[in-house]
């Protein structure tokens, strides 16, 4: 049975999800484009981004997410391997390396995914740089996503550096945390690079 405390956390998460999603959706297109360009500029001098050989990145396609297509094109242009997720009904994900963004196709979840035939027969590397989506983020590294738990399951298994890209308006002092939540290592906005307090490169206190 779900405890009252966990019910309160879930309720608070839902409230924050709705609040920050509405805030993000209200951003004008020109503001979003300028912020995405500023984030990419920051990443080009961000050592974990520059030094990685493989990248795991979703294709932003809904609700005014920070546009990740320029990030993917930047890494493909640098000759790096970019993996894009394919989500499954059991809330697991496979990662497929893509040659370019032209291969992407709409999924049943309304996001762009690679065709299943691109999924390699063996496991993908677990030490690449992972770009993590979300709706609200705290400097601790904890985040509020859409509530499906896909990325928390994946983040618990990867050894890669985890980076969230977000608008500055998505940053809040704290978010409610449940036992299964996994913090990211870094948050990159159009204004700053945040080294997270509870990620692998920081410490609490």
> Model confidence at 2, in pLDDT bands (50, 70, 90)?
low
Note the pLDDT of residue 4.
62
The number of distinct structural domains making up the chain is 1
Question: Residue 83 pairs with which residues in a beta bridge?
Answer: 56, 97
Note the pLDDT of residue 3.
58
Cβ contacts of 5 within 8 Å, gap of 6 or more: none
Q: Does residue 135 lie within any of the structural domains?
A: yes
Q: What is the pLDDT of residues 73-116, one digit of tens each?
A: 999 999 999 999 999 889 889 999 999 999 999 987 778 999 98
Range 68-77 average pLDDT: 96
CA 107 to chain centre: 18
pLDDT at 205 over 70: no
Note the pLDDT of residue 79.
96
Give the tokens for residue 130.
Answer: 């992972």
Please give the model's pTM, rounded to 2 decimal places.
Answer: 0.91
Q: Does residue 95 lie within any of the structural domains?
A: yes
Q: Does residue 200 lie within any of the structural domains?
A: no
Per the CB < 8 A criterion, the answer to whether 204 and 48 are in contact is no
Cβ contacts of 33 within 8 Å, gap of 6 or more: 67
Q: Does residue 203 lie within any of the structural domains?
A: no
Q: Does residue 71 lie within any of the structural domains?
A: yes
Handedness of CA 183, 29, 23, 13 (dihedral sign): negative
**CATH code for the domain of 147:** 3.40.50.10420
Instruction: Give the span between the Cα atoms of 94 and 7, in whole angstroms.
Output: 31
Domain boundaries, position 116 = 4-195
Largest CA distance in the chain: 51
Q: Does residue 52 lie within any of the structural domains?
A: yes
Q: Does residue 124 lie within any of the structural domains?
A: yes
Q: Does residue 202 lie within any of the structural domains?
A: no
């Amino acid at each position: 049975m779900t405890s009252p405390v966990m019910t309160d956390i879930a309720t608070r998460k839902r409230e924050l999800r709705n609040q920050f999603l509405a805030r993000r959706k209200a951003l004008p297109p020109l503001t979003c484009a300028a912020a995405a360009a500023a984030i990419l500029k920051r990443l080009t001098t961000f050592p974990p981004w520059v030094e990685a050989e493989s990248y795991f990145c979703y294709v932003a396609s809904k609700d005014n997410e920070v546009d990740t297509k320029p990030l993917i094109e930047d890494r493909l242009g640098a000759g790096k391997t970019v993996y894009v997720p394919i989500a499954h009904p059991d809330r697991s994900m496979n990662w497929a390396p893509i040659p370019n963004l032209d291969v992407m196709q709409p999924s049943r979840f309304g996001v762009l995914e690679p065709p299943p035939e691109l999924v390699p027969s063996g496991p993908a590397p677990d030490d690449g740089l992972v770009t993590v989506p979300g709706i609200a983020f705290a400097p601790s590294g904890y985040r509020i996503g859409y509530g499906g738990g896909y990325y928390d399951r994946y983040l618990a298994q990867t050894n890669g550096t985890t980076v969230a890209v977000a608008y500055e308006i998505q940053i809040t002092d704290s978010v409610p945390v449940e036992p299964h939540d996994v913090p990211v290592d870094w948050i990159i906005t159009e204004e700053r690079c945040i080294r997270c307090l509870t990620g692998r490169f920081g410490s609490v206190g």
